Structure 1
């Protein structure tokens, strides 16, 4: 068994473990998203109408998002009561087991109605696992960070998302080059089965990280909350609502530019599956490079100011994106999607550290998990469905989709402004109270 590293090495070790762990979790989540766009409709929800099959497939994708708040509540409670590390080890094992089982699942032609039922149940397990994972990974990285570096270190948990996306795209790009019949028969299962290897790697790395020092301090002072979620709802409900709104474009934008865009470009623009996967792979690499630079820049600009600028840029970004995507040329599609993704990814990289700093350590896991996962259920789970409906309803017109994306970014901009105003007000009140004493 791995031994924890020395205290001086723990910040880097914790950030690395957060990155690797979330990369594995998001790889598992994204391969499901890619399979939902490419094969699940045909294999598990066969229909005479491809639109209905696609909507049913995206429906199971949404189910995972609606399970995420439950995972956030359960593991947020455990993380605030018994520790971040134990909660994270459990979520990682749950996600890996569910993903491997999906890779072994018979399709509708073999098992009938039992096949989609089991697929939905395994998707629920995935949703619960990733719902508990995110908050713990952000806190393990951020709470281990040196003084004044929370934003940058917490961003490593966010960096796992594009890394997981890159891995998932590589995996599916490899298997989509197979003969179509072989791909539908067994090729699509290989990315899911490969998760077993990643699971072992993730467990080994996380064993070497100490418990969060901030949580350990709360434990030593015997100040752990008996029922964290009740305290969150009683004392910080307004902040949670603003946290939900603040996360919107960081979550919805990922599934708009990746999951929905696969279905949109293959069905309405006429590009091949392999072409859009290649384009998204190039964009994912850009996202991976942009996120740490954005976190570094945010530390110098100030988190709130940076997030406002990123959200405003995200509101503008879908219009040039769709103009370029409609051309159906690889270079134009990469540039167009990258414009939107750079804005969204810059926001996503910084939002975790900003929101986690709003709540006290004793209820922080529960609070940020509730905010993020409720937002995930609404903004993430429904975005591909809403996009598919708008594309079908306004066939041949891209502007309703662009307006929809602008509205998502606008919700984040307003929420960040409100959070920043409340934070400044509380800081002024504390300063006034200190001067009076």
Structure 2
């Protein structure tokens, strides 16, 4: 009898009991309290690793890939070919969003996230081991492109799952704050990648080209192990489990999204614009703009962006906390409005060419943009029903990433060349990006209120 009683107790508390302590089980209330924190931490660590891998590729593409994998008598051609492989990652992201959105809505968020983390980590380590063009010829750039596609698919599937694991584990009324930890991984990954390459670029140039550049990629193996260990400690999303138990999952989630939520997806694509485009405007484009048109050195603007990345990392959690107090929609409208204004003081400060002035100017724009970015994930995840949520928000975010992330630096470069010596067209362009997000947030908020009013109007039985 005692054995049967112990077995029953063990079975009923299997999910909550520590592995090595059978005499003092963890109560369901304790487990419920711990899981949201674990889920938020796992979302942050996982997305940090994914974005670290994504950003170190971008840095290597600018510094070494042209020389090693696309050798040419013209350095411009080599650099352009190298950046083309970087762009491939953007175009692969929507595919990753669709594939892993489907898997996340069908078999679970946790399994999809474990797969994306493995894909990204293995692909990144393989890049660090890849022989150069001089060793294997055309096979080298072909394999590099294939590995970049894998990276793009992985990061495309990562974001939606990380947001949902954190947000769907969150306590009542705290989805916005907990989901923001997935967004915090982007600046953290950027900081980590900058630190990693700052360390190896201090080597002798010959050593850096020969093997030093590979170290940040190989270090991803350690990060991968850490990420897997942390994610294993997080339970499946309780909201997904509820849908599964009630048999409300659908065969083709993405098909239902297109059939029933096309307008919402389009608005979410637009709503994400400044959060994604703003990053590539204030980072990727700003490097070329300041070095070519303001006359500052590359090391100076990189130092400025490093400081700004730290400011972004510190400001995003505060923005998510304030959004909980003000309301997600209201805060996003305020952040988008501030983002529309921010490029004008930014360019005034940047034009001075002074280090501190540039940090202040770029930080002003980044704080507005990143505040929006921090909160938008939790907001859009609440727009869609649980059974198709992974597919819907992944599609929205990754399509926006492919368009806004890929085109913003190109449009900025064209405007800077077309209006040489004038910064106002660039500021107007940035204002339009933020304005598009503001319009879409207003429309989404109106639709949510209309839907709520319609539900209230249905008589209870």
Alignment TM class, shorter chain as reference: over 0.9
TM-score by length of 2: 0.89
1:266 aligns to what?
291
Task: Encode CA deviations 1:26-62: one digit per residue, 9 max, x unaligned.
Answer: 1111112222334434444455665555444333222
Q: Is the CA contact (8 Å cut-off) linking 1:139 and 1:154 kept in structure 2? A: yes
Pairing 1:370–2:395 present: yes
1:67 aligns to what?
92
Pairing 1:92–2:117 present: yes
Q: How much has 1:108 moved relative to structure 2?
A: 4.0
Q: RMSD across aligned C-alpha pairs, in angstroms?
A: 2.1
Q: 1:318 aligns with which of 324, 340, 343?
A: 343
1:15 aligns to what?
40
Q: How much has 1:173 moved relative to structure 2?
A: 1.7
Deviation larger for 173-182 or 405-414: 173-182
The 3 A distance-change label for structure 1 pair 111 and 338 is: farther
Pairing 1:162–2:194 present: no
**Cα separation, 2, equivalents of 1:366 and 1:158:** 18
The 3 A distance-change label for structure 1 pair 403 and 182 is: farther
Task: Encode CA deviations 1:217-245: one digit per residue, 9 max, x unaligned.
Answer: 00111111111011111111110010100
Task: Encode CA deviations 1:145-181: one digit per residue, 9 max, x unaligned.
Answer: 0000000000011111111111011112222233334
2:214 aligns to what?
189
**Cα separation, 1, equivalents of 2:269 and 2:336:** 15
Task: Encode CA deviations 1:388-420: one digit per residue, 9 max, x unaligned.
Answer: 344444444433332322221121111111111
Deviation larger for 78-87 or 174-183: 174-183
**Cα separation, 2, equivalents of 1:179 and 1:389:** 36
Pairing 1:423–2:448 present: yes
| Pairs within 5 Å for 1:338-353 | 338-353=363-378
Which segments of 5 or more consecutive residues in structure 1 lack a partner in the other structure?
A: none
1:139 aligns to what?
164
**Cα separation, 1, equivalents of 2:315 and 2:340:** 18
The 3 A distance-change label for structure 1 pair 401 and 55 is: farther
The 3 A distance-change label for structure 1 pair 406 and 112 is: farther
The 3 A distance-change label for structure 1 pair 110 and 247 is: same
The 3 A distance-change label for structure 1 pair 11 and 347 is: same
Q: Secondary structure at the match of 2:441?
A: helix
Q: Secondary structure at the match of 2:213?
A: helix
Q: Secondary structure at the match of 1:201?
A: helix
Deviation larger for 248-257 or 141-150: 248-257
Structure of larger gyration radius = 2
Which segments of 5 or more consecutive residues in structure 2 lack a partner in the other structure?
A: 1-17, 20-25
Pairing 1:432–2:457 present: yes
Deviation larger for 216-225 or 170-179: 170-179
**Cα separation, 1, equivalents of 2:48 and 2:289:** 26
Pairing 1:238–2:263 present: yes
User: Which has the bigger relative contact order, CA under 8 A and spacing at least 6?
Assistant: 1
Q: How much has 1:327 moved relative to structure 2?
A: 2.8
Q: Is the CA contact (8 Å cut-off) linking 1:143 and 1:214 kept in structure 2? A: yes
